[in-house]
Structure 1
Amino acid sequence: MAFCIGELSHIPAGKALITEINGTSIGIFFEDGEVYAVRNVCPHKLAPICEGAVCGTMLPSKPSQFEFGLEGKVLRCPWHGWEFSLETGEALFGISNRKVKTYPVEVKDGMIYVEMG
């Protein structure tokens, strides 16, 4: 079932629009032209992850080489800094097999719809 969250223009720049659907807290992000919906619970210690930063991260690289990437694609937990992919919800670089729950999102006529099964 798809739920209308509101207007795309209501998502604050660089932050999540946090809303509730059937008792579940969801963060809606608009980054680089893409919209993402993430359950607002970090699987590590149950922090409100959608209050964290959307950023990039250091990529795996050769010794003494430092490569930054994935700008605007990483959600960092505000409590312990765990990083997850905004697109898939997966923890980055194998630190854990835990995932943040993500939901399919569609924008129609400027309105955001989140699919929750």
Structure 2
Amino acid sequence: MARYVVASVDDIGIGERKLVDVRGRPVVVFNINGEFFALLDRCPHQGGSLCAGKMTGLVEAGAVGEFKYSRHGEIVRCPWHGWEFDVRTGKSYCNPERLRVRQFPVTLEAGAQVVEGPFVAETFQVTVEDKYVVIEA
């Protein structure tokens, strides 16, 4: 599988998200408490942008009148019709057996690993002389 550098860790703060383009596909990258997750930016229901959706948590009920709120900021709600998806897995909470958003694996890598590729750019000596930038070629 091909790998794509989409952002610096500092570009996506905790609790934030960033819409990126990966080979012509819109992908939204989420930062949940320092962990990064990526989902296709299309709700499988009718294609709404999940990047524009509200981040929420999970409400579970054990009995009538009892509920528990957990996983704050880990569920994204489609802005068009309110369908909810687990950011960690892409699983739907509307129809978990049939629906899910495509998830992409995310890794964090040191800049030197990413920047040092198999290609080498030609470099030139640069100096500043009397307020002029001079390149030696």
Band of TM-score, shorter chain: 0.7 to 0.9
The alpha-carbon distance between structure 1 residues 21 and 49, as it changes in their structure 2 partners (threshold 3 A), is same
The structure where strand makes up a greater share of residues is 1
**Alpha-carbon deviation of 1:81?**
1.2
Write the mapping of 1:1-117 to structure 2, written as runs, cut at 5 A: 1-92=2-93, 94=95, 97-109=98-110
User: Normalization by structure 1: what TM-score?
Assistant: 0.84
Count of residue pairs brought into register by the alignment: 112
Higher relative contact order (CA 8 A, sep 6+): 1
Which residue identity is paired with 2:40? R
Give me the whole-angstrom Cα distance separating, in 2, the residues matched to 1:80 and 1:13: 26
Runs of at least 4 residues off by over 6 Å: none
Name the amino acid aligned to 1:108: E
Q: Which runs of 5+ in 1 are unaligned?
A: none
Question: What TM-score, normalized by structure 2, do the two folds share?
Answer: 0.73
Larger radius of gyration: 2
Query: Please, which runs of 5 or more residues in structure 2 have no aligned partner?
Result: 115-137
